[in-house]
Structure 1
Amino acid sequence: MKQRRKGQENSDTEEMISRIYPYITRVFDIYEIQKSGEILYFFGTPKTDAENVMGELWAPLEQRGLGGTLKYELGEHVLIVTPVKKAKEKHWVNLALFIATVFTTMICGAWLFGVDLWSEPLQIFQGLPFTLAILAVLGSHEMAHYAMARHHGMKTSLPYFIPFPTFIGTMGAVIRYRGPIPDRKALFDVGIAGPLVGLLVSIVVTIIGLNLDVPAVKPLPDSLMFELGLPPLFVMLQKLVGVTGSNLHPVAFAGWVGMFVTLLNLLPAGQLDGGHVLRAMLGKKADWVSSMMPRILLMIGIYVVYGLKGDGFIWIFWALFLWAFAAAGHPSPLHDKMKLDRKRILIGILTFILGLLCFTLIPFKPIT
């Protein structure tokens, strides 16, 4: 029985090698193959730049449930191929966080409509329009990342919404990427999909909100009120609809939040969406821009505080955050030498322009 099982294992190994051998020999001259358990070791010499070997092999190995690493040890190159065990997704976590976020955003939405939930807890459902609007804005952003990542064969989780007692009831949503980035095209497409789709939904939500009557809200006792700074894109939509002022319907406010989130995500630093896009466009040259971004934000914050006598804490906070966030650098795609086509470069430039249209020096300030 043991002999038969060993023979079956050898047969499976030979079949696996025969399936991936043609792909490996395109970029790697093999002179020896060793096996240890489920791990295969291919000793040889790269036919191309060692940096791009895994770029060529990632897709065929991924399709067969395998992962690979190219190492240089004791004077020779070795390609290590191992089975990739799929992590079991705990979708109940995504669902639980989503339900909690619906609840927390509905509380904030009810507050925006002037509901005193301490005395009228059942009026929480008045916050539902805001909940639907804010989740559409934030959810579309992350689902665009998710769909594009899956399109490029990348492993990623479903969005995790983050319930949090902020003035919008959430800290947004995130998705987890597993495994390498295939090439600069995938990096660009995944990075830019979220901001573009999220901004488009924000524009739609804003237009809907601007066409709704602003509720007459009596400030609740001990509540903190804010005056919003409207970015150029929001003002353009106001002129299109024919309304003015910063007194907004909660649905329109959700659109404003979407624009602000788009701006922050498009900052070209670290592993923010803007950092992904710029890294794909410029390659390693983007590291310089990424390192400069915290300095620029710090100068903006100081100018707002001392020049405009306003609240520039948000920019100072993001400057400090990015100093730590961008310091780790950006992981290189497997196919890092593959340059983007002109169409993607143009889309990237236009997207950063749209991000600038979402910028305002003082996004919000408390009303005293």
Structure 2
Amino acid sequence: MNPKMKPEIEDQRNGRGKSEVEESISRIYPFISRVFDVYEIQKSGDILYFFGTPKVDTENVMGELWAPLEQRGFGGTLKYELGEHVIIVAPVKKSEEKIWINLALFMATGFTTMICGAWMFGVNLTSDPIQVFRGLPFTLAILAVLGSHEMAHYAMARYHGMKTSLPYFIPFPTFIGTMGAVIRYKGPIPDRKALFDVGVAGPLVGLFVSIAVTIIGLNLDVPEINPLPDSLMFEIGLPPLFVMIQKVVGVTGSNLHPVAFAGWVGMFVTLLNLLPAGQLDGGHVLRAMLGKKADRVSSMMPRILFLIGFYVIYWLKGDGFIWIFWALFLWAFAAAGHPSPLHDKVKLDRKRILIGILTFILGLLCFTLIPFKPIT
């Protein structure tokens, strides 16, 4: 091996021999040497430092190394410090998934959404708590909508070799009983194709399930209910996609069966997720389509939402504070920017570009100026 090896004194104190060091290096050095001209190697603890000069564009170095390092149980990063390029490689410590947490949150969310579903059917849970099970149809519908969205992300991420957690459902005392679900991505994004596929899969699959749930709900008889004392009632605004489905089914009006309402929630969630900003799904898709140029659109989105909210409040005399809230949220959320994929210069093919455009059009069809307003 040509590069000079300088094991740290710390390794000698810990009694680690050269053979262990050389074994680790021999596993990964052939891959590093393809893209990096190494002239010195140092080791501290379990961390290896490869000093040298990139043979390819610095933006592509880790893109070339990510897969072979990951397959051999290592993670790495390229840094430029004190006038030198250095690749820092360390073993990836695998932590076991605590599936019981996902399961517990799923069951808790099932319970909170069932309570909200029961209220939608006019059940007075104070006097008759056993009737909570009447909310089960809404629970099944809303969990199908939210779960399909996150599982599509999960399946596509695993397809591209990315590490990710199972969905974490979030039980919360909102008018639907949940704040949705999230998954945690672990490690870098391989390339723009993976970024696009993972980003677009959730909204498309979730919207498909929302449409199916809406059709089922519109074919069910709307229950006749008497509002509970001191209950807060809302009138919802129907987006164009929902109205089109109503026309196909032959139903009109905004008085909906709870299952159809779950479909409406899915469309609203799809709209919010497809906002092209930050690390929302729409931000992922646009970043994959436009590269770093997407940052300009991302920075403009909070301003656009603020103007929409201002227009609704002062011109339409409606409740536009949802858009003001999301404008402020995105201002903070998008400020951190979007992490670059490892292969950032690999552009998308025309098929993915077309799918991305159609996805944003579907997102627009889920938009309504006043999503909901209290009935006084």
**What band does the TM-score fall into relative to the shorter chain?**
over 0.9
Larger displacement relative to structure 2 (88-97 or 161-170): 88-97
3-state secondary structure, aligned to 2:127:
coil
Which of 174, 185, 198 is the matching residue for 2:193? 185
Identify the residue that residue 153 of structure 1 maps to in structure 2. 161
Residues in 1 aligned to 2:234 and 2:327: alpha-carbon distance in whole angstroms: 22
The aligned residue for residue 174 of structure 2 is 166
Give, in angstroms, the shift of residue 331 of structure 1. 1.0
2:225 to 208, 217, 225: 217
| C-alpha distance after superposition, 1:178-213 (max 9, x if no partner) | 111111111111111110110010001001101111
Q: Report 1:43-54 matches (<5 A).
A: 43-54=51-62
Kindly state the Cα deviation for residue 244 of structure 1 after the two structures are TM-superposed.
0.6
Q: 1:171 aligns to what SS in structure 2?
A: strand
Cα distance between partner residues in 2 of 1:19 and 1:346: 41
- Structure 1 spans left out of the alignment, 5+ residues: none
Pairwise CA distance, 1:214: 0.7
SS of alignment partner, residue 352 of structure 2: helix
1:74-126, CA deviations, whole angstroms, 9 ceiling, x for partnerless residues? 32211111101012322111111111101100000000011000011000000
Distance 2:82 2:173 in 1: 55
Q: Give ranges in structure 2 of 5+ residues lacking alignment.
A: 1-11
Amino acid of the structure 2 residue aligned with 1:360: T
Give aligned-pair identity as a percent: 87
2:361 is equivalent to residue 348 of structure 1? no
Question: Displacement of 1:238 after TM fit?
Answer: 0.6
Aligned residue in 1 for 2:43: 35
State whether structure 2 residue 373 is matched by structure 1 residue 365.
Answer: yes
Write out per-residue CA displacement over residues 4-56 of structure 1, whole angstroms, 9 at most, x where no aligned residue: x968x543433332232221122111222222222222121101111210011
Q: TM-score, normalised by structure 2?
A: 0.94
The aligned counterpart of 1:203 is 211
Cα deviations across residues 194-251 of structure 1 (Å, max 9, x unaligned)? 1011001000100110111111111111111111100000011111111111010000
Q: Give the Cα–Cα distance (whole angstroms) in 1 for the partners of residues 80 and 333 of structure 2.
A: 30
CA–CA separation in structure 1 for the residues paired with 2:250 and 2:87: 63
| 63-72 vs 34-43, which moves further | 34-43
Corresponding residue SS for 2:124 = coil
SS where residue 142 of structure 1 aligns?
helix
Secondary structure of residue in 2 paired with 1:51: helix
Give the Cα separation in 2 of the matches to 1:127 and 1:69.
50
How far, CA to CA, are the matches of 1:232 and 1:348 in structure 2? 20
User: After superposition, what is the alpha-carbon deviation per residue over 1:259-307, rounded to whole angstroms, capped at 9, x for unaligned?
Assistant: 0000000000111110111011111111110111011111111111111
What are the residue-to-residue correspondences of 1:219-238 with 2, within 5 Å?
Answer: 219-238=227-246
Instruction: Name the amino acid aligned to 2:200.
Output: I
Task: Measure the CA separation in 2 of the matches of 1:363 and 1:52.
Answer: 44
* Partner residue of 1:305 out of 313, 319, 331: 313
* Counterparts of residues 123-138 of structure 1 (less than 5 Å): 123-138=131-146
Q: Does 2:269 align with 1:261? A: yes
Q: SS state of the match for residue 206, structure 1?
A: helix
The one-letter code of the counterpart of 1:308 is L
3-state DSSP of counterpart to 1:147: helix
Asked whether 1:19 is paired with 2:27, we answer yes
Aligned pair count?
364
Q: Which residue is equivalent to 1:84?
A: 92
In structure 1, what is the Cα distance between the partners aligned to 2:337 and 2:82?
A: 29
Q: In structure 2, how many angstroms separate the alpha carbons of the residues matched to 1:250 and 1:10?
A: 67
